Amino acid sequence: MSVRTLPLLFLNLGGEMLYILDQRLRAQNIPGDKARKVLNDIISTMFNRKFMEELFKPQELYSKKALRTVYERLAHASIMKLNQASMDKLYDLMTMAFKYQVLLCPRPKDVLLVTFNHLDTIKGFIQDSPTILQQVDETFRQLTEIYGGLSAGEFQLIRQTLLIFFQDLHIRVSMFLKDKVQNNNGRFVLPVSGPVPWGTEVPGLIRMFNNKGEEVKRIEFKHGGNYVPAPKEGSFELYGDRVLKLGTNMYSVNRPVETHMSGSSKNLASRTQESIAPNPLAKEELNFLARLMGGMEIKKPSGPEPGFRLNLFTTDEEEEQAALTRPEELSYEVINIQATQDQQRSEELARIMGEFEMMEQPRLSTSKGDDLLAMMDEL
């Protein structure tokens, strides 16, 4: 497991979340000023300097539920609200889209280009907000500094860590099914055509060499695909042609997107009851969330501006039906972390556990340094 995987996972999933929210804001005809405020608030929170500092520290990946809690807080960083069924669907779409992108990366290093594609599109959402643009550019520089010098083997370990994280997710997405890149069992179809990875040759030729390194024989074979050489390598600079299209906004044209639990996912659910089985990493996950959430700056809505509810389904009836039919084991409503017996737990972690249970209770004013979760709510 690579300890450098979390920033790439978080930023790419966050990019997909913004794509989906932008599409739904347009589909529901939310006024432009409100839609811009929602995206600006979420992006500003997502790329907050303190938050990024915690995110980029070398650390293991944690459970899907732990990360999902962070995204739920992000999604509610503005005047927009999502109910449980819409939040579940949002997270399903985010994870399946990025899983598809990781699977199709020509080389392990290209997951960095996928990340840059997400950042490039995010910058398009905030062209009129130079301060937030600067936050995103700073994150880009951090990515370049940390990942620019990694070896192919280190990127392969990152890719393996991501695939392990996604391996049990087989949720069918209507867009993928219509494009025939996903089967009815929720598994993706890998292509046997298109450009080969940069720096490699089109398959079909075997070269044989003698002990002096001289080529002595060639054998051609049929590979059964339709491959072409890569035109050029994607740019890893702040501005440049990424060449790779994975990670760009597939919702830029309005298309209805539905999710369905595949049979394999339903069967798997009975074996992966994270909310029920005691988690040996519970305290570590709690500390992880305390650090990440402590770095977030959730801005309170200023003035009398009313909030609104965003629906990721076509109708309210569909949303209600989805909430009723989703397998209980795959619902992320409550993170049940078995750390309540630890007498040495800190006060802020206990408060965060209360937040996981969605219990809104009034809080006494505390200093920002003492209460990480309060930092999110007070700033």
Report whether pLDDT(344) > 90.
Answer: no
4-22 average pLDDT score: 95
Q: Residue 142 — pLDDT band, cuts 50, 70, 90?
A: very high
Total H helices, total E strands in the chain: 14, 8
Burial zone of 155 (CB within 10 Å; 0-12 exposed, 13-18 middle, 19+ buried): buried
Burial zone of 351 (CB within 10 Å; 0-12 exposed, 13-18 middle, 19+ buried): middle
Report whether pLDDT(377) > 60.
Answer: no
* Residue 366: per-residue pLDDT: 40
Distance CA 188, CA 182 (A): 4
Distance CA 299, CA 279 (A): 32
Phi, psi of 361 (to 5 degrees): -125, 145
Instruction: Tell whether 243 is covered by a domain.
Output: yes
How many distinct structural domains can be found in the chain?
Answer: 1
Which two three-digit tokens encode residue 286? Answer: 């709690």
Q: With contact defined as beta carbons under 8 Å apart, do 277 and 188 qualify? A: no
Q: Residue 224 — pLDDT band, cuts 50, 70, 90?
A: confident
107-123 average pLDDT score: 96
List, in order, residues 6 or more apart from 360 with CB less than 8 Å away. Answer: none
- H-run or E-run covering 319: helix 316-325
Report whether pLDDT(214) > 60.
Answer: yes
Instruction: Tell whether 232 is covered by a domain.
Output: no
Q: Which residue type occupies 86?
A: S
Distance CA 91, CA 269 (A): 16
Instruction: Tell whether 46 is covered by a domain.
Output: yes
How many beta carbons lie within 10 A of that of residue 364, not counting itself? 6
Instruction: Tell whether 367 is covered by a domain.
Output: no
Give percent above pLDDT 70 in the chain.
68
Instruction: Tell whether 351 is covered by a domain.
Output: yes
For residue 205, list its beta bridge partners: 220
Could you tell me the residue range of the domain that residue 123 belongs to?
5-193+238-253+307-337+346-355
287-314 average pLDDT score: 63
Report whether pLDDT(279) > 70.
Answer: no
153-163 average pLDDT score: 96
* Residue 84: per-residue pLDDT: 86
Q: Residue 97 — pLDDT band, cuts 50, 70, 90?
A: very high
* Residue 275: per-residue pLDDT: 38
Instruction: Tell whether 184 is covered by a domain.
Output: yes
Instruction: Tell whether 369 is covered by a domain.
Output: no
Rg, C-alpha atoms of the chain: 22
187-207 average pLDDT score: 92
Closest CA to 10 of 111, 125, 108, 129: 111
Q: Which residue has the higher pLDDT, 375 or 80?
A: 80
Burial zone of 341 (CB within 10 Å; 0-12 exposed, 13-18 middle, 19+ buried): exposed
Least confident of 16-20, 279-283, 292-296: 279-283
Instruction: Tell whether 373 is covered by a domain.
Output: no
The model carries a pTM of 0.77
* Residue 229: per-residue pLDDT: 92
- Mean pLDDT (the chain) is 79
